[in-house]
Amino acid sequence: MSSGAVSPRAVSHTSAEYIYFDHAATTPMRPQAVAAMLPFFSECFANPSGSHRFAREARRAIDEARDVVGEVVGCRPGDVIFTSGGTEADNTAILGAVARRGGTAVCPATEHHAVLECVHHLGGEVVAVTATGEVDEVALVETLAALSARGTDVGVVSVMAVNNEVGTINDLAAVRDLVRAHAPNALLHTDAVQASCWLDLRLISPHVDFLSLSAHKFGGPKGVGALIARGGAQFAPVLIGGGQERERRSGTHNVGGIVAMAAALRLTDAEREADVARIGSLRDRLVDGLTALVQGVHETVPRSHKVAGSAHVCIEGVENEALLYLLDEAGVCASAASSCASGAMEPSHVLAAMGVPNSLANGAIRLTLGRTTTESDVDRGIDVITTAVERLRRKARPKEN
């Protein structure tokens, strides 16, 4: 008789039979993060909001994790607000800032839906981007100036640090200067969910008022993240009722997840420089190999404009849905765009905003590397992708009589 427990399939994602090129969607948990969170499922299970000694022990673990996150991000521990992940952090920053301060919300067209849909919901303004995916600074200034001319205050501007689909890096120092000059009362938020593995967060956080993180993007567990609200940046809480996080985010803390997130972030920060060099070299090897062997491969964003783990390409003459099916059958895990709840294939709003024609966007594939990627993964990946593209193109050729 079944116990009712749900068990994972026998095939491991880390098996030698599989190659994992989907680190932007989620990263394998670091063993140290798993070890850090395990005690909070058993002996240290108390609710940290209580007053007894076991509750105080759980609360102390949260405080220590808050110190770690603050040190890695470059902010005060009190600026760290633990959330259920990046989506909640993004929603809180944008919806909460406008609810508290009024005004409208502004963001580029390539933002993650957790930001973009908040801006649409508030009737805000969406700004154009360049062909490489950065926010168009001229368009941003024009938008802010037009709002000012209409007498409309700007409550919050949100510009992501690293694009989740194509890996583009935004210059947040330049964005800050423009926002301060043209919308001096606005708060500046960045979705830094994709940044932790590749960029020193201490160099990002001084330029913004809000910063969002999600643990599963850097070796922590799913279901936990953080919103950094620097310098006492004010917002209306989205979750109310319990008063946790100094009444900025109610709800019982995910103690094990928070502790594991801090452990993963600390290691990511310590190993970042070496990982960026190694993984960047592997990314170059992957893209160069595909370009050499497959005609019609287009690197979507120049390498100087994006993070080391991003190998987003568009391949002529193939449909990405069919290509991903063949890759999955051959043991290569990849994606076409950002991960959505349904897993359905949808047109990329990011590529559309960048002006990538549909003929290329239909063949877009997001290959993202991470700390577990190896040379053999890359070499086998090149072989599998090359074979799959050739198979699809042969099938698409008209048959001769």
Would you say residue 401 has pLDDT above 60?
A: no
Nearest to 256 by CA among 1, 57, 17: 57
pLDDT at 341: 40
Given a cut of 50, whether residue 50 has pLDDT beyond it is yes
pLDDT of residue 76: 98
For 366, the 3-state DSSP assignment is strand
- Find, among 370, 372, 375, 389, the residue nearest to 325 by Cα: 389
- Comparing 9-18, 127-136, 275-284, 287-296, which segment has the lowest mean pLDDT? 9-18
The percent of residues above 90 in pLDDT, for the chain, comes to 90
- Between CA 222 and CA 49 the distance in angstroms is 22
Query: Are the CB atoms for 309 and 368 separated by under 8 Å?
Result: yes
Question: Which secondary structure element, helix H or strand E, spans residue 262, and what is its range?
Answer: helix 255-293
Each residue of 305-337: pLDDT tens digit?
999 999 999 999 999 999 999 999 999 999 997
Element (H, E) at 243: none
The predicted pLDDT at position 11 comes to 47
* Whether the predicted pLDDT of 16 surpasses 70: no
Determine how many CB atoms are found less than 10 A away from the CB of residue 135: 27
Residue type, position 311, single letter: A
Residues designated catalytic: 340
Between vectors from CA 344 to CA 257 and to CA 341, what angle results, nearest 5°?
25
Residue 342 pLDDT level (bands cut at 50, 70, 90): very low
pLDDT at 134 over 60: yes
232 pLDDT tier (thresholds 50, 70, 90): confident
Distances (CA, A) of 106 to 97, 149, 154, 177, 354: 12, 15, 8, 15, 18
Phi/psi zone of residue 230: left (φ > 0), alpha (ψ -120 to 50 degrees), beta?
beta
Q: What is the predicted pLDDT for the residue at 337?
A: 76
| Amino acid at site 305 | H
pLDDT tens for 114-127 read 999 999 999 999 99
Structural domains in the chain plus CATH codes: 19-28+272-392 (3.90.1150.10), 31-267 (3.40.640.10)
> Could you give the CA distance from residue 135 to residue 160 in angstroms, rounded to a whole number?
9
Distance CA 103, CA 184 (A): 12
What is the DSSP secondary-structure string of 280-337?
HHHHHHHHHHHHHHSTTEEESS-GGGB-TTB--EEETT--HHHHHHHHHHTTEE-BSS
pLDDT of residue 15: 55
Q: Amino acid identity, residue 259?
A: V
pLDDT of residue 345: 59
